[in-house]
Chains A and B, each alone.
Chain A
Amino acid sequence: MKNIKAGIGFRKDFAEEFLSGPVLQPDFVELAPENWMKIGGFWKKKLNQLAEMYPITSHGLSLSVGSPETLDFNFLKDVKAFLKEYNVEVYSEHLSFSKCDNAHLYDLLPIPFREDAIKHVAERIKQVQDFLERQIAIENVSYYTPVAAEMDEATFISRIAEEANCLLLLDVNNVYVNAFNHNYNAKSFIEKLPLERVAYIHMAGHTKVAPDLIIDTHGEAIIDPVYELFEWTLEHIESVPVLLERDFNIPEMDDLQNELSHLKAIMTKKWAATESAKSTKQHLEKIH
């Protein structure tokens, strides 16, 4: 099906095997612009090779939309150039902060779920969208403890998406992780989100480190309950690209392809009928 697309997060750890082998066959690849922009030499060549083979989507790490300080427009300028150079259609970022007091932390920290933070973050996302001249998608992140929260997470995310008029990247694994860690119902959480804004989905594995705590490691295969939540989620949204993230503990390419095929089978099962109806409608409109 034309609009059913499953991609893979591109990692240097498996670049050679992926680019030179026939096993892993995603519809697109995703990469973090921070790791690939303003570089040359060997990895630039690999990036160009990748771009010739697959469409690229970008998922940022360092923009830090939740930071208290002002945005780094020099960084955004480089991101904008990168998105243009590689014809990147989807650019997403995390709803978190990775920089504070002008110090980068290179990891994702939870923003306090508060009214003033909604205004602040929404305003920053609007600035980013204006600068990049495109809508961006914001990802629900996994978090292990709330920070000075005054509302629930779903309200926080929904309000920001509405106020910033941005898209959502729904990370189904993160919903599962947060529901487990904070003892809420994953499906009810998803139902509260503005699902018409979902433009992209992430799927990944995680690691249970304590009886009551899961860490979002992207270092394991996706588990069945997350597949089940994914399948349920697809019934509530229109078809969007789905990405498999695997950042650590990289398995054989066959295993990654199997996960990708499994995701695609679920997508086809859930979305094929809708896609087919859409295509018939378009065809009829064309002849009349």
Chain B
Amino acid sequence: MELKTETYQQQSNLAKYCRDGKEIEIKGIKTERLPHYRRLVFNVIKNALQSTYPISYKFIEKKTWEEIVYRFFSEHKCSDPQVWRMPGEFYHFCKDQNYAEKYNLPFLNDLLFFEWLEVELYMMEDQTFPEIKNPLFKLDKRVAINPEHKIIKLEFPVHLMNPLEATQKKGDFFVLLFREPGVDRIQFIELSVLYTFLVENMVSTTKSPEEIFTDILYIFGINNIELLRKETTKFLEELQKKGFILGESDD
């Protein structure tokens, strides 16, 4: 490296100051102007986090939010050159630091995760869609699925209600999020455990819904297959209307 240690140290001191705002010594600096750098840099971080996490920002006490943001930027080394991806690092940082417990915000991990996924899915690179044999799905044929989706498990139903209320309803909540083809909106739908099993199997195996029913009957102890067919058909039709199911797969 051509750069001398002393020059590197001056740059490092300035960068450190921008991250934590603590006094530093830099040769030849106009001290009274230094806070502008801290303000400009920190504003980028604050604004990006606020716009990615509007619900978290609204429901977390301002002082706590600011402390969490401050700790994130001063303690974490943001690694992604794309600023819109930085809030994803914020979610992982908060989770790793166990801020949900430290700040007594039980919903924090779920809410940040949910809000981040909405952004990540909205922005994600276009995926290759599967070939369709028939625009209508059939229960005995493999179903073509929109690949731009995520299935997540939450501890609190932050997707349904404000996080403070959601804290009172701890449980297992499965949510399917996907990008609606054509309009590119993010849709989300809560799934029962049974439908989570069905959808996950439709996504990760080559089985048709009928083939998956065999496992469902056994695992969930269901006897009435006709009722299962009827209810599942309604559910899958709804998913097709919303753009998650694309039709009968050509595979």
Contacts and interface: CB of A to CB of B under 8 A. Distances in A.
Contacts of B26: 147-148
What 4 pairs between A and B have smallest CB-CB spacing?
Answer: A100-B15, A40-B126, A103-B77, A62-B81
A184 interface: no
Nearest to A41: B184
Given A105-B15, A107-B44, A119-B2, A215 B36 contact: yes
Interface in A69-89: 72, 75
A24 B34 CA distance: 38
Contacts of A68: 1, 3, 7-8, 11-12
Interface of A: 34-35, 37-45, 61-63, 66-68, 72, 75, 97, 99-107, 109-112, 114, 116-117, 119-120, 123, 144-149, 209, 213, 215
Contacts, number: 148
A60 B115 CA distance: 28
Contacts of A97: 11, 15
B81 A75 contact: yes
Interface of B: 1-4, 6-8, 10-12, 14-16, 18-19, 26-30, 33-34, 36-37, 40-41, 44-45, 48, 76-84, 86, 122-127, 148, 179, 184
Most B-side CB within 10 Å, residue of A117, A209, A213:
A117
B10 A107 contact: no
B74 to A, nearest CB: 10
B81 A34 contact: yes
A237 B15 CA distance: 36
A106 B43 CA distance: 10
A40 B18 CA distance: 32
B15 A103 contact: yes
11 contacts: A35-B84, A39-B123, A41-B126, A62-B81, A62-B82, A100-B11, A102-B77, A109-B14, A145-B30, A147-B26, A213-B36
